[in-house]
Every structure is written in C-alpha cells, then in structure tokens.
Amino acid sequence: MANIRLIKRRIKSAKNIAQITKAMELVAASRMRKAQAVALAGRAYAQKIYEMVAYLASRVDAIHHPLLAGPKKISGWRTIIVLSSNKGLCGGLNTNLFRFLNREYPDMGKHRYVVLGSKAAVFVSRMAGGRVMADFSQTVPFAHNVAAITAMVAEEYTGGKTDGVDLVYNEFLSAIKQNPRKKTILPLTIEGVGESKVKSHLPADATHQALQAGKSKVQDILIEPDPESVFAALLPHYLENQIRDAILQAEASEHSARMVAMRNATDNATGLVGDLTLVYNKARQEKITYEITDMITARLSVVE
C-alpha cells in the first residue's frame, strides 16, 4: 500500500513548484514584451543606418577605408563575439546556441572570443582552451558594453591582429521561435539593400524604374562637408549599431525562451499534481477498505 503521508508531501511540493514557475513565467512575459518592443524598434533604426551606409558606399571609394578593406591574413584567427544568457531556466536556448557555435567553428581553439553571458564564458573557456579576450558578463544590461566592444574589435581588426569579427547570437523571430545566427561584421560588407527590398515587392519593370528613381534622389542629396567624411564618421556608428542590435535580439530571445520554459514547467507540475491526487485517492480508499474489512472480520470473530 502506498504511503499516504509521502504522497501528500509530494503533492504539496508540486503545488509549490507550480506557484514558483507560474510567477517566473509572468515575470519573463513582462520582460519579454519590453525587450521585444526595444528589439523591434532597434531593428528599424538598424535598417535605416544600413541603407545610408549602402548609399554612401556607392558614392565614395570605400575599398580604401580600413573597416571595409579585406582581412590582412596576419593572425590566422578570427574574433568571435558570443552572446548568451547569465541565468539558466530558459529551455534549450543556450544549448542550441553552443551546438551552432561548435558546428560553425569545429576547431574552436584557433579563434579568440569576446563573451557576453556567464553561460557562454563557461562554455568557451572549456571548449576553446581559455582563449577569452574579454568577458562582459558582469555589466548588465549588456547594451552598456557596446561602445567598449566596438572600440576593442575595431582596434583588433585595423591593427591586423585578427582576420575578421563575427557575431554569434540568438535571433528573435517570435515568442516561441529563436534561431542561432552568425553574422560577420568585420570586414564590413555593404550590399545593395535598397535593390533587394525593391525586387521582393515589385515586378521587373517597376523594379528598374524604382531603382532609377532612388538613385536620382540619392544623387540630388547635398552632403556636407563631403560624402567621404560623412561615410568615415558613419561607419563606426554602423558597426556599433550591429552589435547593439544583436544584444537586443539575444535579450528578447532569452526572455521569450524562459517564458515558454516556465509555462511548460507549470503545466508539468499541474499535471503531476493531478496524477498524484489520483494515486492519493486510490491509496486512501484502499486504506479505508482495509479498515472496514478488519472491523467486519473482528466482529465475525466475536459472534462466532
């Protein structure tokens, strides 16, 4: 016969866990909504600054700029900025990110790393033999580290100490979907973003007309003091914006994954309470049946 007292203790523990996970789900949902709003707003700014840099790159000799020049192939390694969470309880978010990182860089010991998030710091230290250049996990929110990280990686690249700089982070797609992503930010690659946007919405003839109209509008813009100076001043801000956008995407992904994980934990704890309650009722009924049987047996013995 099952121990009724033990079952009652387990039911109480499961109810307490469900209360805690429910509270954590509500907190994560509140933070997720704020982080999602910030990430979406930052994405619009990142798109605009990307368009401006693309337009200016078409009007200047951009190949001579140190951030647009190809890697000097001196060091033989790359600098990788890895963004994870400081805390756990967010499902498989960090695990999927680290599997992606290991798949993209099979020989992790060849590269150097800048980490944001204690989970990434532990993983990189173990897998890459301690090749961590800087750990910004203790300064939160992570967006406060953008200027320092930008200056560090730009100096590393322009000084020929690294062949390139990559971002590895979780891209926020929706509240239930976050995908690991790799983005190369140095050397900068400026593509015709306006052309790709027009092609995806217009037929061929309209696309050509829209591109010609867009080019004519850009040529009519008066830039002071000159496009080269503006372009050189804008590129560091563009690089900084790419890092900030990745941080915002990673934070929104973390809160979303934690909200879903806590919701699943609450559902599992509630289901466990229901199963244990059924076992408890069966054990209680079984005990009552045995007691009644004992009473009847004792009475029959007295009568005989």
Tens digit of pLDDT for each residue in 113-136?
A: 999 999 999 999 988 877 889 999
Report the 3 state secondary structure along the chain.
CCCHHHHHHHHHHHHHHHHHHHHHHHHHHHHHHHHHHHHHHHHHHHHHHHHHHHHHHCCCCHHHCCCCCCCCCCCCCCEEEEECCCCCCCCCHHHHHHHHHHHHCCCHHHCEEEEECHHHHHHHHHHCCCCEEEECCCCCCHHHHHHHHHHHHHHHHHCCCCCCEEEEEEEEEECCEEEEEEEEEECCCCCCHHHHHHHCCCCHHHHHHHHHHHHHHHHHCCCCCCHHHHHHHHHHHHHHHHHHHHHHHHHHHHHHHHHHHHHHHHHHHHHHHHHHHHHHHHHHHHHHHHHHHHHHHHHHHHHC
Domains of the chain in sequence order? 4-18+263-303 (1.10.287), 22-193+232-258 (3.40.1380.10)
Tens digit of pLDDT for each residue in 74-112?
A: 667 889 999 999 998 998 999 999 999 999 998 888 899
- Model confidence pTM above 0.75: yes
The pLDDT of residue 196 is above 60: no
